[in-house]
Chains A and B, each alone.
Chain A
């Protein structure tokens, strides 16, 4: 099911938007991939924020200039609050609608995928919906990985994994919060499980989550380790704490190059 929250105070504009969404979903065969379409309209931002605490949405279409009378929250602030509500809200695509483009120009602060200026035509709307769909698709590709460690079994969302590395027949799973899970098994099984979630094996013993790639050159990828992360370096099996600006480099084997850069562009050009 594709759940869309439409936050719009003016009825006629909400109807126009719903019409456009329906048309887009029909034209692009959205139901084939995502199933049924569920659009919920909220008349003002606070109502939406209350609902989003308990309800999940795949896409937020938000009017920026909503009347201040009801609750004094405009769309931009509401988007910021929505992002703060929960960690899981960080990747939900937000598309703004606005009468005045000045209001939306700061949209990068809340990681908006874009904005459409009212009145908008269908083609413009479709252009941004395509982007939104790419985002939703990306979010759906995340999986929960079961990792058996010495201390028990952990369930890790793939988006929390920075990279996975082989070290002395063991497998280190490095997480976003600096945690390190050590498990047994083959890297190949992880590769197969994670191949649709934009993880790419860039050399014999590393599997990297492309979303955390912070730099690259012709033969290496770089990842900035989270501060105070605990990790073991592969070369001399040293335990180490990451300090500020600690960069980990991963050699990219020649055969993997095109695969790595394709995945990198796919991940980074979502917004």
Chain B
């Protein structure tokens, strides 16, 4: 019974007839091309894991695989992918043990490496067929010259892939989470393409004897087709799983433009208000000269003037000019709209950040909060925003809480946008997250009982001294 299962899984000898079997080594090398995002453990701390992985790689050169063919009368009856499956599983587990990256990142990295290796393998096969009029998997024993030829193809393609793609690719957990469907679909396509490609062998075996012109043409066409399909799937996988700086930068640019425009509108509004107040004041002073001034000294009038002045006075001196500018602008805006903006802000702790980032970070948090409370009309909630920035044990903490009306659901830790037509709601917070990440921080949003509660932690970088 056991031997039957074994024969089914492993049709062929255990030790490879064509030593050395190079497949696993090429695969690991290709995975390394796209491994920028993996965080390796040091050899010094984990020597056993590294040595074991090395032993495994060395062992694969002796063991038969990766795909075994059941051959009868020079015809392939059946293939077994069992050795391939085992090898890939061990490579994934090995990477999991050798890095501190998440399993998801490792899976996607392995899939990318596998697809890249597959493209190289197929192109190598095409070259071998073209040059030698012979495919290298069907003839078991490979001459050293053929091996060298294949190695050169692998190396050249590998270097090209690293130069044009690998060194710029950064697989990120966040991107994978955001585009689960795309990543999953492209991996499925990859599996399908690669496994169905083995059909090529059957077709080639059916219609030709390999060496003939017809056979060469047929196999090259099929392999080209296969390489293209794999490349397409690889491209989708790369695009969907890597952190796309460009897209983020476009988003930030859009944000800045929007912010400038809004700033202009608000300043215009305040110029109007201040002009109006000045006009009132002037009228009041003129009136004072010509008439009796008893009413001017009445406490009510006095109170009114003080209130007007304090409401439009810039009140916050936080120790950081960028923050002062934003908060003063926002507090004026809020004063007009009956919103209590309550800030306890130590701006000096953010001095390590660039001004542009502070504008975007603090501005977006404030805008998001103002947006949320503007629709509140009394009742159980109030139009109050609490915003604080302070330092705690070497970290900057930004905290913002406000009530909101209606429902709010979180997706990937950010509120989902409510409006479709205008400037997106959740979009500003995406910029916030982008900046927080840039400074190696983290953010968390909690919604509980109509209360929106957001915390940002940013470690203060140690000054080089």
Residues of A participating in the B interface, judged by any CB pair closer than 8 Å: 100-102, 104-109, 111-112, 114-117, 121-124, 127-128, 130-131, 211-219, 222, 224, 245, 247, 251, 254, 261, 264-265, 268-269, 271
Contact = CB atoms under 8 A, between A and B. Distances in A.
29 contacts: A102-B315, A104-B344, A105-B343, A106-B344, A108-B346, A114-B342, A114-B386, A114-B388, A123-B382, A123-B403, A127-B386, A127-B401, A127-B403, A127-B451, A212-B393, A213-B393, A214-B459, A215-B440, A216-B457, A218-B100, A219-B100, A222-B394, A222-B459, A265-B455, A268-B392, A269-B397, A269-B399, A269-B453, A269-B455
Contact of A123 (B380, B399, B459): B380
A30 to B, nearest CB: 15
B366 to A, nearest CB: 15
Nearest to B384: A124
Interface in B433-465: 440, 442, 444, 451, 453, 455, 457, 459-460, 462, 465
Given A124-B382, A216-B459, A107 B393 contact: no
A131 B390 CA distance: 15
B395 A117 contact: no
B316 interface: yes
A99 B115 CA distance: 66
A84 B192 CA distance: 70
B395 A214 contact: yes
B459 A215 contact: yes
Contacts of A213: 393, 395
Contacts of A127: 382, 384, 386, 401, 403, 451
B245 to A, nearest CB: 18
B388 A271 contact: yes
A92 to B, nearest CB: 16
B344 A105 contact: yes
Interface in B6-43: 39
A171 B442 CA distance: 31
A37 to B, nearest CB: 21
A254 B100 contact: yes
B340 interface: yes
Interface in B411-443: 440, 442
Nearest to B39: A219
User: Which of B394, B442, B453 is most buried by chain A, counting CB atoms within 10 A of its CB?
Assistant: B394
Contacts of A124: 340, 382, 384
Contacts of A268: 392, 395, 397, 455, 457
A245 B464 CA distance: 10
A34 to B, nearest CB: 19
B342 A116 contact: yes
Contacts of B178: none
B344 A115 contact: yes
Interface residues of B, number: 41
Contacts of B394: 214-215, 222, 224
Interface of B: 39, 100, 102, 310, 315-318, 340, 342-346, 380-382, 384, 386, 388-390, 392-395, 397, 399, 401, 403, 440, 442, 444, 451, 453, 455, 457, 459-460, 462, 465
Contacts of A102: 310, 315
B382 A121 contact: yes
Contacts of A211: 392-393
A245 B462 contact: yes
Contacts of A265: 442, 444, 455, 457
Contacts of B455: 265, 268-269
Please provide the 10 A-B residue pairs with the shortest distance between their CB atoms, ordered closest to farther.
Answer: A214-B394, A215-B459, A123-B382, A269-B455, A124-B384, A107-B344, A108-B346, A219-B100, A124-B382, A108-B390
Given A214-B393, A268-B395, A108 B39 contact: no
B345 A105 contact: yes
B440 A217 contact: yes
Contacts of A106: 344
Task: Report which residue of A101, A219, A254 has the largest number of chain B beta carbons within 10 angstroms of its beta carbon.
Answer: A101
A112 B386 CA distance: 12
A244 to B, nearest CB: 9
Contact of B316 (A105, A121, A247): A105
Contacts of B388: 108, 114, 271
Given A102-B315, A131-B401, A215-B459, A112 B395 contact: no
A53 to B, nearest CB: 27
A115 B342 contact: yes
A131 B397 CA distance: 15
Contacts of B344: 104-108, 112, 114-115
Contacts of B440: 215-217
B315 A101 contact: yes
A251 B39 CA distance: 13
Most chain B beta-carbon neighbours within 10 Å: one of A106, A123, A130, A219: A123
A254 B102 contact: yes
A130 B451 contact: yes
A263 to B, nearest CB: 12
A253 B273 CA distance: 57
Given A101-B315, A124-B340, A124-B384, 5 more contacts: A108-B389, A127-B384, A127-B386, A127-B403, A216-B457
A214 B440 CA distance: 12
A76 B127 CA distance: 81
A224 B393 contact: yes
A116 B341 CA distance: 10
Nearest to B462: A245
Contacts of A115: 342, 344
B381 A123 contact: yes
Contacts of B397: 268-269, 271
A30 B346 CA distance: 32
Nearest to A112: B344
A3 B105 CA distance: 50
Given A105-B345, A114-B386, A130-B451, A261 B393 contact: no
A129 to B, nearest CB: 12
B390 A128 contact: no
A130 B399 CA distance: 14
Contacts of A264: 457
A271 B381 CA distance: 21
B392 A108 contact: no
Contacts of A130: 451
B69 to A, nearest CB: 39
A121 B382 CA distance: 7
A211 B388 CA distance: 18
A105 B46 CA distance: 51
Contacts of B316: 105
